[in-house]
Structure 1
């Protein structure tokens, strides 16, 4: 009886996955990670207008740049999810743009071995648009020891937050860097210690422009770049960024003045 139940479950899984488009990179984890991060039965299309950008080769496996540039994406982007297929923890981030105004998000990640990388964007009709890239790498980025401790002042500098705000051409670009080890928990005797939650807010109000959830694949000393459309409306407003790590440390600061 158990054998028949297992066969039935496998047939159901195959039926659900049969609706997915073919993976342009042929990864064995295509269906599995889509179901894991986008949900079973997700409506998925392959779409290079998502604008995923990763290098063809990772010169530093602990700091691999990733950008999702939605300037050519013709729909409203309500959510962006990125993952690295072959990483021990594939998820990189899940970002929610409350008003659909997000046009660019960028963050460095670790790569454990050569891997396909995905960016999935949810549109206003509930369709996930996926763009893919491939990063060749010597690997080991997720299990490499952190470098921040090489500085004798790292404990005093821990949590240093620097921000910048740049407005023009109807867009607002925000940059924020945080001095944080972002330990993956995959190095012997070093527990996981990483920023898990990020919010961009209008200072002094409950208005939230963006919320982001990070996983262990994010790089040490993260640098976040966000770009929103209609940025000129924020020129005279104060914005703030808030972060919290898995040990309960919180980091918050005003985002620097607008620049032409």
Structure 2
């Protein structure tokens, strides 16, 4: 008679080992189960996350993510362990460097992390702690108190700079309240997708921001291509915006 062996694993256990957290966050193992499941995870010093030690403005805390020496990056996931909405953005650098600059809302002291998925399916993770007074995600946007903001919704400004290493640097700003839905009486209202294409229509990069990205977001990307470019996006209410960006001045 053959014996049937049943192995019971704890709820939430994964096939891949979860490495110890160099930032010593109490939420790390929950984040690992939530976002990476049984994928391979490594903490990688090549993944740089630069942010202030203390968020002077909890509604607008700058972050710069990059990994110039990490090849084959297909997705960049940015998340904040202690935020009420942990996922900050997803970035797909199709023909771009794995680098992005932006600002986000900080509710309380938290690690802010960047996880970069390479072609082999491994997530390479870097991060840093940001201390904060609190209230970034639960505070209403400035736009919500301004009756004229609707006339400018989706208004987009963008500019390109030539990079010495090749390609262009793109910096753009979109007028949008980016409401989290956590302020009393104000529903969630945020940009869900931005796509950058070249003059032939080929996608260079795609960005999926989430509620914690700051109001009127300003985003910086390093593209492996030259302008002119088209920037197009939409929000969770179906509003769309589009802008054409000319080549940078010589």
TM-score by length of 1: 0.87
Aligned with 2:34 (options 36, 42, 47)? 36
Q: 2:66 matched to 1:76? A: no
Aligned with 1:24 (options 18, 22, 25)? 22
CA displacement 1:18-70 (0-9 Å, x = unmatched): x12210011122122122223x1111111121111111000000101111122
Aligned with 1:66 (options 63, 67, 80)? 63
Shift of the 13–191 alpha-carbon distance from structure 1 to 2, 3 Å rule, reads closer
Residue matched to 2:143: 148
TM-aligned CA deviation for residue 256 of structure 1: 3.3
Unaligned residue ranges in structure 1 (runs of 5+)? 1-6
Q: 2:223 matched to 1:228? A: yes
SS at match of 1:141: coil
SS at match of 1:48: coil
Q: How does 1:210-229 map to 2 (within 5 A)?
A: 210-229=205-224
Q: Quick check: 1:103–1:228 contact (8 Å CA) kept in 2?
A: no
Aligned with 1:119 (options 114, 120, 133)? 114
Q: 2:5 matched to 1:8? A: no
Q: How does 1:102-141 map to 2 (within 5 A)?
A: 102-141=97-136
Residue matched to 1:158: 153
Determine the C-alpha separation between the residues in 1 that align with 2:152 and 2:12: 49
Residue matched to 1:255: 245
TM-aligned CA deviation for residue 198 of structure 1: 1.1
Determine the C-alpha separation between the residues in 1 that align with 2:175 and 2:185: 21
Greater CA deviation, 137-146 or 90-99? 90-99
Residue matched to 2:43: 46
Residue matched to 2:230: 240
Determine the C-alpha separation between the residues in 1 that align with 2:74 and 2:14: 28
Q: 2:172 matched to 1:176? A: yes
TM-score by length of 2: 0.90
Shift >6 Å, 4+ stretches: none
TM-aligned CA deviation for residue 152 of structure 1: 5.7
Determine the C-alpha separation between the residues in 1 that align with 2:85 and 2:142: 20
TM-aligned CA deviation for residue 158 of structure 1: 2.2
Determine the C-alpha separation between the residues in 1 that align with 2:163 and 2:196: 19
CA displacement 1:190-219 (0-9 Å, x = unmatched): 1111001111111352x1111121211111
Residue matched to 1:194: 190
Residue matched to 2:4: none
TM-aligned CA deviation for residue 151 of structure 1: 4.8
Aligned pairs, number: 243
Determine the C-alpha separation between the residues in 2 that align with 1:16 and 1:59: 40
Q: Quick check: 1:67–1:105 contact (8 Å CA) kept in 2?
A: yes
